[in-house]
């Protein structure tokens, strides 16, 4: 590890690496956006992002991941490859697999020309490992993030679930994620009956990211201002980095881990034959109920849902579609084609309920604090309660152990806001005074506020998790910030990344239990 760090410092001194040049263009009207070159639907198979490389030290996985420039063949060959910034130089980034109850260590190196901060989205973690927006790893430096993956109270459980990690640099998260700095973090649990119903070979992540790719292969990104008020919306959707892939499936049940990794785009996912599927998990892991049959599901930005699709009696071809897009835009509507083949493969059934809570879930009667957040636009910027992000200003100080009800208000009719809280899982109490959607009645950490939408969420604040004690043999490369700088500090923000960058983000600091 030390050798590696020395190498990085040397390579930085000798010129370092190039960041992909996709800075903001000035004064660009939405109509002036380029168009991704024509592509043939279903001409390439789905790919699954590879696992990141790790060593195991006394039972703890130590991942070693480098943020650096690279190339990805996003357009079909022989069209040019796309210059990206990616974890280990790939797009989507390498997967991290962790085991519930056992810490994971990830040493991130920065071989880009700009600083980066890495956020593990969904983890309940000490603030120093959360990826605070100004907790930078500078060019040529490394930082060790320690993820506890520990199961505690209901709002801070780290049970089996689908999470992701991505750049969280102040003001430029949208550009950096657009360039490829995002990957999956799957928390598994060898002892969880639900987590093991479906075999690994039928357990498939599907990450949806829309993009615009120029004819020369470069990514088009207009920046937070010129992207328009909806945030950036592309003209093609990549599924695991492939435009309109096909995927051969067996006649059995599949577990799909869905992530809306887009910045300005939402999805209403449905199968082209109208076949129902079962919802089994939200961002907060398996539902606290039985699986829920649905024929379509809404996904705001950063949300994850896990669904089970039974292909046993499906037609030979089924397409997963985004119903929010009309049939004239097939590259945005027809996301992935499943080619169903082979004999029927028997499958097991899920436990009922899928999961039980370690303690009663929070209810409104126990709430002692109420807060209200207006998400709005002011002087051309997106803000929360009138102010943008200031790392020197703490906006909210919840106390560990308290139960709070937050009212989130989108006063505008022009755009929506997917609101995300770090550190906690919460429950959605209601939307506009009505019960939340059936798909969002379990633990969440992102809630979508549609136009003129209001939602109330309930949070029982956890303690800031202690930093796990690691075996001495685990190599530690600390970042440039002193440990403790961000220990109890986190952010809550809109996950429309252009809104987040300009400037819809608050800081909260968790007070110790009374
Ligand atoms: Cu995925 Cu603070 O974000
Ligand atoms: Cu997050
Ligand atoms: Cu927003």
| Residues 67 and 107 sit within 8 Å (Cβ to Cβ) | no
Ligand (nearest to CA of 177): 1
As a whole number, the mean pLDDT across the chain is 93
Three-class secondary structure assignment of 368-387: CEEEEEEEEEECCEEEECCE
Task: Write phi, then psi, for 175 (nearest 5 degrees).
Answer: -65, -45
92 Cα: distance to centroid of ligand 1 (angstroms): 16
pTM: 0.93
CA 26 to chain centre: 29
The residue to which tokens 């809570």 are assigned: 357
Rounded distance between C-alpha atoms, residue 456 and residue 436, angstroms: 9
The string of pLDDT tens digits covering residues 460-486 is 999 999 999 999 888 787 778 888 999
DSSP SS3 for 224: helix
CA 178 to chain centre: 13
Pocket of ligand 1 (CB under 6 A): 119, 121, 166, 168, 302, 420, 422, 491, 493, 495
- The fraction of the chain above a pLDDT of 90, given in percent, is 88
Q: Which atom of ligand 1 is nearest to the CA of 493?
A: 2
| Protein residue whose Cα sits closest to atom 3 of ligand 1 | 121
| Protein residue whose Cα sits closest to atom 1 of ligand 1 | 121
* pLDDT given at position 416: 97
Q: Which atom of ligand 1 is nearest to the CA of 302?
A: 1
Residues with beta carbon < 5 A to ion ligand 2?
121, 422
pLDDT band, residue 19 (cuts 50/70/90): very low
* pLDDT given at position 16: 30
pLDDT greater than 50 at residue 27: no
pLDDT greater than 80 at residue 26: no
Q: Which atom of ligand 1 is nearest to the CA of 164?
A: 1
512 Cα: distance to centroid of ligand 1 (angstroms): 23
Ligand (nearest to CA of 500): 3
Ligand (nearest to CA of 453): 3
Q: Where are the alpha helices (DSSP H) in 319-414?
A: 330-333
* DSSP class of 285: E
260 Cα: distance to centroid of ligand 1 (angstroms): 12
> Token pair for residue 468?
């796990």
Rounded distance between C-alpha atoms, residue 19 and residue 510, angstroms: 35
Point out which residues pair with 419 in neighbouring strands. 447, 494
Task: Write phi, then psi, for 126 (nearest 5 degrees).
Answer: -50, 140
38 Cα: distance to centroid of ligand 1 (angstroms): 32
* pLDDT given at position 480: 82
Rounded distance between C-alpha atoms, residue 336 and residue 314, angstroms: 15
135 Cα: distance to centroid of ligand 2 (angstroms): 14
201 Cα: distance to centroid of ligand 1 (angstroms): 29
Rounded distance between C-alpha atoms, residue 323 and residue 329, angstroms: 11
32 Cα: distance to centroid of ligand 2 (angstroms): 32
Point out which residues pair with 474 in neighbouring strands. none
Rounded distance between C-alpha atoms, residue 345 and residue 365, angstroms: 48
Q: Which atom of ligand 1 is nearest to the CA of 505?
A: 2
């Amino acid at each position: 590890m030390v050798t590696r760090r020395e190498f990085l410092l040397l390579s930085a001194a000798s010129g370092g690496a190039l960041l992909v040049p996709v800075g903001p263009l000035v004064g660009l009207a939405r109509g002036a956006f380029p168009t991704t070159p024509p592509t043939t639907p279903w001409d390439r198979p789905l790919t699954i992002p590879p696992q990141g490389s790790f060593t195991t030290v006394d039972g703890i996985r130590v991942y070693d991941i480098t943020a650096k420039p690279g190339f990805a063949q996003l357009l079909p060959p022989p069209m040019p490859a796309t210059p990206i910034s990616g974890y280990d130089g790939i797009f989507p980034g390498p997967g991290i697999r962790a085991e519930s109850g056992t810490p994971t260590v990830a040493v991130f190196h920065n071989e880009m020309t700009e600083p980066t901060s890495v956020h593990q989205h969904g983890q309940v973690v000490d603030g120093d490992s959360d990826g605070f927006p100004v907790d930078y790893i500078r060019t040529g430096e490394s930082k060790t993030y320690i993820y506890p993956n520990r199961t505690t109270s209901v709002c801070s459980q780290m049970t089996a679930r689908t999470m992701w990690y991505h750049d969280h640099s102040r003001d430029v998260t949208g550009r950096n994620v657009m360039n490829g700095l995002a990957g999956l973090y799957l928390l598994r649990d060898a002892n969880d009956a639900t987590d093991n119903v479906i075999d690994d070979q039928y357990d498939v992540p599907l990450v949806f990211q829309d993009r615009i790719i120029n004819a020369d292969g470069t990514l088009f990104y207009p920046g937070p201002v010129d992207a328009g008020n909806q945030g950036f919306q592309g003209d093609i959707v990549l599924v695991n980095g492939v435009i309109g892939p096909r995927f051969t499936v067996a006649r059995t049940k599949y577990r799909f881990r869905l992530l809306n990794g887009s910045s300005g785009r939402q999805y209403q996912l449905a199968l082209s034959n109208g076949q129902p599927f079962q919802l089994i998990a939200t961002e907060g892991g398996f539902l606290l109920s039985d699986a829920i049959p649905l024929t379509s599901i809404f996904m705001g930005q950063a949300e994850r849902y896990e669904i089970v699709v039974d292909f046993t009696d499906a037609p030979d071809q089924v397409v997963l579609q985004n119903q929010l897009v009309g049939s004239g835009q097939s590259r945005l509507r027809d996301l992935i084609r499943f080619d169903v083949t082979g004999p029927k493969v028997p499958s097991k059934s899920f436990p009922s309920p899928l999961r039980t809570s370690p303690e009663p879930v929070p209810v409104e009667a126990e709430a002692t604090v109420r807060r209200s957040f207006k998400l709005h636009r002011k002087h051309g910027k997106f803000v929360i309660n009138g102010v943008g992000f200031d790392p020197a200003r703490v906006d909210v100080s919840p106390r560990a152990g308290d139960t709070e009800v937050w009212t989130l208000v989108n006063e505008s009719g022009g755009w929506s806001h997917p609101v995300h809280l770090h550190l906690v899982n919460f429950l959605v109490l209601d939307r506009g005074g009505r019960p939340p959607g059936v798909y969002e009645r379990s633990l969440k950490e992102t809630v979508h506020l549609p136009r003129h939408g209001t939602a109330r969420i309930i949070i029982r604040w956890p303690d800031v998790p202690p930093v796990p004690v690691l075996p001495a043999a685990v190599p530690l490369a600390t970042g440039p910030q002193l440990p403790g700088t961000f220990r109890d500090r986190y952010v809550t923000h809109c996950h429309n990344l252009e809104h987040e960058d300009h400037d819809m983000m608050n800081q909260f600091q968790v007070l110790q239990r009374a």
